Structure 1
Amino acid sequence: MIFTTTEKLHFVYYLLLGLLSLPLLTECSKIRLVGPSRCSGRVEVYHEDGWGSVCDDHWSITNAEVVCRELNCGTVLESKTSAFFGEGDGRIWLDDVKCTGTEQSILKCPHRSMGDNDCGHGEDAGVICSDYVRVVNGSNRCSGRVEVQDNGHWKKLCGDDRSGNNADVVCREINCGPSVAQDKVPYFGEGPKLENVKSNCFGNESSFSQCTRQETTDICPAATVVCKHSRPIRLMNGTGRCSGRMEIYHDGQWGTICDDRWGMQEATVVCQELSCGSALSIKYNAHFGRGQGQVWLDDVDCTGHEKSLSDCPHRGFGEHDCDHNEDASVICSVVSPLRLVNGTDRCSGRVEVRHDNQWGTVCDDEWDIKDAEVVCRSMDCGTAQSSKNSAFFGQGQGDIWLDDVTCFGNETSLIHCRHPTLGENNCGHGEDAGVVCSGIILLITLLLTLFTLVSRQCLK
């Protein structure tokens, strides 16, 4: 049997993933939470034969998200500062931690050298994670497919007629406000095929753990939620909904954001959160007019990878030294975002486009390597290795947003290529288009490097 280059790469990819999951390697992860439960407490790191804490400088919800995922503790609820769970003792191992949110361990996030800090234990960082429920595969941490923990494993929650009550409890538990009813059920992937859980909430439970639930092997649709974010944002006084003065809702009222330290990383988070494409420019000095009421945020310091502006480090709500002459603004590209689904990594898979708050697919009519090249470049995935037709990465669901896409290959976004009106097509999901980008080669190189480094460390 002769294997293609891509198939060989896929084999190596899966082999490395298997090797990286060996107990020998996972024992190198030395993270724990010291607090009231396994999934909430002061963050501590094991280094040089001793446990030590983490300083809360630059501590954010994104850092906490990495900790929760690393400890298999579901969805992050809150990041805590100022020794919320009490002061630790011994060394302070980490300071100025700045995760992007995609890391598999907090030790992989950028930070000062181990033990290098300017903190005291009164600044020990903590997290609160959800032991029982998590929301995955959504556009932000407050939307997605619901999974529940059962006997130490995460399993798909079945959607049914009682999903409204279940959604209210889930949204409340993950600190995302009430659930938002959807005219059309969004699709966030199917999740595990054989391990499902049915649940029945009345809607007034304080935790999903209080709802009745039972394991089932029945085939059922995945439960999904879209929650009203605890702190929604908006752009005001611009030329459209994707440009204007930055405002955030807090404590029952809208307020502005000071332009101190305001930059493209913050604008990138805003544009993505509002489904407005990429950030084109940032504006200072009340470019779109002076706001009114509170100045809610100052010294916002995003990495650019946060899912919500309120997840970025900042002084604290209402803490500032600004007036409305310094109101911050952004201008976004209004380009529908892209994602690749069901591939072997983030740089291969079925091409999906977000439009009208729904993810949908692209038909493979006229689909070729030039179209794939635009997708790979816009997703920072290198060059296109191949374009895929006939639902090579599986059939999607929902709308088919694009058909007869014709790119020259130099466009910055797939939406900039020639195509009929969004949603106009003569296709079925058996014709869903896909791509394989060269990013997979870079990924395997990184995995090989990681495997070598971790193996050496574990065998010391």
Structure 2
Amino acid sequence: MLESSALVNLLDAENSSLALHDGLVRLSGERQCEGELEVFLHQVWRRVLLDSWSLTESSVVCRQLGCGSVLNFYGSSSSSPEHSHECVTGFQCSGSEAHLGNCSSPQTLNCSSTQQLYITCLGRGSIRLVGSGGDCAGRLEVFHSGSWGTVCDDSWDIKDAHVVCRQLQCGVALSNQQVPAWFGPGSGHIWLDEVECEGNETSLWSCSSSGWGKHDCNHKEDVGVVCSEFKEVRLSEGCEGNVEVFYNGSWGNVCWNQMDRDTVSLICQELNCGRSGLLSASTPRLKSAPNWLDKVTCRPHDSSLWHCPSLAWGQNDCKGDEVATITCSEQKSHVSPQSYLTWSTFPHQRQSSVLLLF
């Protein structure tokens, strides 16, 4: 069961028969971020009815609970004797509210008069990977009781990391033998410890743990994960050299076919190496590495190399001396915020196993 610690604070409205004070919102289901929606009114948890409810109100609830965006909602006529016979309806939100209490005041109805409301949130927003400059690698943090906290490495293994990557839609996890990265200790709460997954779960909330806030850890034991969909770009000599990208657990080359001024400019800007550069072709520094990208043609409105059209990953028409080499117009003034996975010791063969970082 997931409930929000945010106060809902609905005041009496002129045309409303109910005021909501010191209210919590929760989803009562088997998994976190889904279930029957209830609000706490007058010291009693009360169901929210389907009448007049929409995706807009659902999105506010998912945001309030730290569960990302809404997947769907539906009604059910089931009832439970331990709940009050009073239910709630009439919430109207614009969609930008931080919590349901910022929406219009509700009305009460008898629970038997209509269907109760069930919501499923995507849940992506309830876990995150931070510290890498991307969404698919970093220190694992989970959202609980209104704040983000870390996960301890006790009992953590490859199967747990796979579930995290699956939940974040970031592919599979990569083994720590492949990617020697450290995202640093977190701060605040350590929310989970002794997490144990079978490996086939779609969400971390389906895995067992010692319970919220129960641990014997400190932050130097915070878990980090790198998923196969994490991508990085670098030039082999800082602000000049072969263009190399990290994908699916290994560094590879980028071919120069169809690369133009806009593409060169975007790469230099992403690496904090100026706004322009010179392009040439050369032999690869990474001799046995895959040619990950070819025919990359960035457009003026693209904000990242990963938004630019290209052939699919690993598909190329690249000869041995056609690896892109760029010399950017300026040297770095400070370390690029994305330069986290730039060790030359990575294996160059393509892999798709698992990663856990402690």
TM-score (norm 2): 0.43
The structure richer in helix per residue is 1
Q: Which has the larger Rg?
A: 2
